[in-house]
């Protein structure tokens, strides 16, 4: 595990992650910090706890509204869409013959 020091809304945090997770983690931290700063800047919410809750609600809303493109699977969330694809791949693996031997 690697230690990563970050700052969110002016407070320092020390996080641990695998080396390959560092860049996605830093991107997430930047996103959360920017959103919290935007919430704070609106002047409608005060207190870091309330700002964090409002930011979390906005992020959850963004995540839940992420849907697969239009069409027969348009009502599926991205995670459901990925599971559907995995299920279809598993079905194909069951019915198709193994690798074709080269001549």
> What are the boundaries of each domain within the chain?
1-65, 68-96
**Digit-coded pLDDT (tens) for 54-79:** 999 888 888 776 665 565 556 666 67
**pTM to 2 decimals?**
0.64
* CA dihedral over 41, 45, 49, 52, signed as positive or negative: negative
Taking every pair of Cα atoms in the chain, the longest distance, rounded to a whole number of angstroms, is 72
How many C-beta atoms surround the C-beta of residue 103 within 10 A? 3
CATH architecture of 1-65: 2-Layer Sandwich (3.30)
CA distance 81 to 74: 9
List phi, psi (to 5°) of 70: -55, 160
What pairs with residue 81 in β-bridges? none
**Digit-coded pLDDT (tens) for 74-95:** 666 667 767 777 787 777 777 7
């Amino acid at each position: 595990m690697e230690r990563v020091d970050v700052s969110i809304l002016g407070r320092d945090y020390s996080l641990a992650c695998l080396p390959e997770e560092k860049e996605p983690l830093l991107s997430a931290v930047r996103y959360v910090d920017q959103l919290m700063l935007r919430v704070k800047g609106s002047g409608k919410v005060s207190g870091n706890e309330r700002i964090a809750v409002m930011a979390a609600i906005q992020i959850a809303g963004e995540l839940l509204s992420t849907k697969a493109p239009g069409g027969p699977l348009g009502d599926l969330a991205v995670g459901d869409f990925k599971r559907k694809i995995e299920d279809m791949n598993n079905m194909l693996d069951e019915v198709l013959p193994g690798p074709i031997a080269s001549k």
